[in-house]
Amino acid sequence: MPGFELFGESEKSQVQQVLDTGVLMRYGFDGMRNNQWKALELEKALASRMGTKHAQLVSSGTAALTVALVSAGVGAGDEVLVPTFTFVASFESILAIGAVPILVDVDDTLTLDPIAVEKAITPRTKVVMPVHMCGSMADLKALKNICTKYNLLLVEDACQAIGGSYDGKPLGSYGDLGCFSFDYVKTITCGEGGAIITDTDEYLKNADHYSDHGHDHVGKDRGAETHPFLGYNFRISELNAAVGCAQLQRLDEFLEIQKKHYTILRKSIEPLSGVTFRRVPIGGVENYSFLSFFLPRQEVAEQVNLALSNAGVDACFYWFDNNWHYYRKWDHLTNLTSLGKLPQEVIQQLPDYSKADFSKSDEWIGRTISCLIKLSWTEEQVHNRAQKMRTVLSKFL
């Protein structure tokens, strides 16, 4: 997945152009900047690549989720449905605005189970937020139908699946709003950064203002701009955006490499009986950043995970025991351990997750292993790895 593996001349040259003018901020300083607007340039390129009307850059993927929710009018006490298998950023972005994260089971797509989503809807539900984990997507058509039926927003977290598609549309562009992360370990990186994409003018305007203290960005004098509503600072810097300008141009090259490596590994273990693969919804194309597969039982998955690591097959993950990606270890959320006082809405409405039954998620995640697909492997390394994976797996099947 990580674009940082292929950090090269085009990234350096983009950053150098920013350093040459010395204008590190995305707004203002028109006289000094030599007509160079890296953040704007990246927003245009991203919207064009994703086929959306708009893109708004922000400082991180977590900020993108927060700003996307705020831009669509989500606030205190609103319930947002998120999967049990995700990154902690999902509930952080929701809690940050006083809204309430409602965890929902995942199925064999390793993303939101549409049946569980419909069951979790209450009169307070505002948003369904699928997270396209490990390069593949949720059943977006089913989720969109639910959103239409109950008048809910569909906000896609495509942070781990940039470049994948569903029903011919780039992931992130199918819902009302889509979010990307460009942190250091994502498929393409800015160092730190994130983006929101949308076709809705109003959301774009809100995101633009909100992520810069409420500035309306009218005229040429920042100090004289007005503030139609309260905002915050989630700005990206020109330096980070410059790295992204180079990386976005290489996205399709990265996807091709990922697909090639993924296919070699998959073909090597596919014939083994007992290995099955995560379900990709019909009409979906992965971005191939991970190869995720199921083993017949939880104990087997645990043993295989250990054996892979002992055999030197690195970068494979057993999410069931992971501190950051699966609900079982989120005791800080379960216990609402926070530095300061939380909003009443959150305290009153957050379900008691210590008593929750997510056995349906456990059935899938307990048997899942995901192996990261690296860009920097040589062909020989990929084939070696494929051989090793097959040898290790066949010992347990």
Least CB distance from residue 158 to ligand PLP, whole Å?
Answer: 8
What tokens does 149 get?
A: 């039926």
**Backbone dihedral region for residue 214 (phi beyond 0: left; psi -120 to 50: alpha; all else: beta):** left
Least CB distance from residue 106 to ligand PLP, whole Å?
Answer: 13
Write out the H or E segment, with its range, that includes residue 185. none
Measured between alpha carbons, how far is 106 from 112 in angstroms, rounded to an integer? 5
Least CB distance from residue 89 to ligand PLP, whole Å?
Answer: 4
Q: For the sheet containing 276-277, what is the strand order?
A: 276-277, 290-294, 368-372, 316-317
Measured between alpha carbons, how far is 7 from 189 in angstroms, rounded to an integer? 9
Instruction: Rank residues 60 and 292 by Cβ distance to ligand PLP and give the closer one.
Output: 60
Instruction: Rank residues 180 and 364 by Cβ distance to ligand PLP and give the closer one.
Output: 180
Window 70 to 129, contacts with ligand PLP (CB under 6 A)? 86-87, 89
Helix (H, G, I), strand (E, B) or coil at 213: coil
Measured between alpha carbons, how far is 127 from 67 in angstroms, rounded to an integer? 14
Instruction: Rank residues 14 and 86 by Cβ distance to ligand PLP and give the closer one.
Output: 86
Instruction: Rank residues 105 and 183 by Cβ distance to ligand PLP and give the closer one.
Output: 183
Stretch that binds ligand PLP, among 155-163, 211-219, 255-263, 364-372 (CB under 6 A): 155-163
Least CB distance from residue 74 to ligand PLP, whole Å?
Answer: 17
Q: Environment class of residue 289 by beta-carbon count within 10 Å: exposed (0-12), middle (13-18) or buried (19+)?
A: buried
Instruction: Rank residues 195 and 269 by Cβ distance to ligand PLP and give the closer one.
Output: 195
Q: What is the total count of residues that contact ligand PLP (CB under 6 A)?
A: 13
The answer to whether residue 134 forms part of the interface with ligand PLP (CB under 6 A) is: no
Instruction: Rank residues 26 and 186 by Cβ distance to ligand PLP and give the closer one.
Output: 186
Least CB distance from residue 65 to ligand PLP, whole Å?
Answer: 6
Instruction: Rank residues 272 and 372 by Cβ distance to ligand PLP and give the closer one.
Output: 372
Least CB distance from residue 322 to ligand PLP, whole Å?
Answer: 12
- Give the x-and-dash track for 42-81 against ligand PLP (CB under 6 A): ------------------xxx-------------------
Window 2 to 21, contacts with ligand PLP (CB under 6 A)? none
Least CB distance from residue 28 to ligand PLP, whole Å?
Answer: 25
Longest dimension (CA), the chain: 70
> Are the C-beta atoms of residues 269 and 293 closer than 8 Å to each other?
yes
The answer to whether residue 159 forms part of the interface with ligand PLP (CB under 6 A) is: yes
How many Cβ atoms are within 10 Å of 56's Cβ, its own excluded?
28
* 226 alpha-carbon distance from chain centroid: 33
- Give the x-and-dash track for 162-201 against ligand PLP (CB under 6 A): -------------------x-x----------x-------
**Backbone dihedral region for residue 376 (phi beyond 0: left; psi -120 to 50: alpha; all else: beta):** alpha
Reference 114, options 157, 88, 145; nearest CA is: 145
Helix, strand, coil share of the chain (percent; to 5): 40, 15, 40
Q: Where do contacts with ligand PLP occur on this chain (CB under 6 A)?
A: 60-62, 86-87, 89, 131, 157, 159-160, 181, 183, 194
